[in-house]
Amino acid sequence: MERIPILRMGKYLLVTIQVDMHDRLAMQLQEDLTTRIAKENSRGVLIDISALDIVDSFIGRMLADIAGMSRVLDAQTVVVGMQPAVAITLVELGLSLHGVRTALDVERGMKLLEESIGEATFAGNVDESDGPGDES
């Protein structure tokens, strides 16, 4: 069965959606991604949708859901590279994806994650300087 690859980049997971999203694929991605976040103890997820030309309300909601699930698992989600047409469609559908962070491209998205998570880890390190999380 067709799957969307989830790549690990250091502390983060990178998902690039290169094919047309259909509903089953989206559900599979949700499942895979949450599993991976839990397994790899990731702190951030980058979803690159620059190749996505068409979205419907289902895919829009799925993006918001993924962000919500990641937050529960203590990982931040950044959606990057949204096409203008996709952005307009989502807004017209009333899906403004509140709580999802966005960036223009993967590079900036990575920087955004670096900034927010870097600070968080730093703050965490003060509290538990000999924690098991920072030995990589």
- Write the DSSP assignment of 46-57 as a string of letters: EEE-TT-----H
- The Cα-based distances of 112 to 10, 64, 76, 105, 107 in angstroms read 15, 18, 10, 11, 9
Pick between residue 36 and residue 55 the one whose CB is nearest to another protein.
55
Q: Which residues pair with 103 in a beta bridge?
A: 80
User: Which of 79, 110, 113, 117 is the binder for another protein (CB under 8 A)?
Assistant: 79
Q: Does position 92 bind another protein by CB under 8 A?
A: yes
User: Which of 38, 51, 93, 104 is the binder for another protein (CB under 8 A)?
Assistant: 104
Measure CA of the first residue to CA of the last residue in the chain; give whole Å. Answer: 34
User: Which of 87, 114, 116, 124 is the binder for another protein (CB under 8 A)?
Assistant: 87
Q: Which stretch binds another protein (CB under 8 A): 17-25, 68-76, 88-96, 117-125?
A: 88-96
Take residue 60 and report the two structure tokens written for it: 């829009």
Instruction: Give the whole-angstrom CA distance, residue 92 versus residue 111.
Output: 29
Footprint (CB under 8 A) of another protein, residues 105-134: 105, 108-109
Take residue 16 and report the two structure tokens written for it: 């690039």
Q: Which stretch binds another protein (CB under 8 A): 40-48, 67-75, 91-99, 119-127?
A: 91-99
Q: Does position 61 bind another protein by CB under 8 A?
A: no
The 3-state DSSP class for residue 76 equals: strand
User: Which of 83, 114, 121, 124 is the binder for another protein (CB under 8 A)?
Assistant: 83
Residues that bind another protein (CB under 8 A): 79-84, 86-88, 90-92, 96-97, 102-105, 108-109
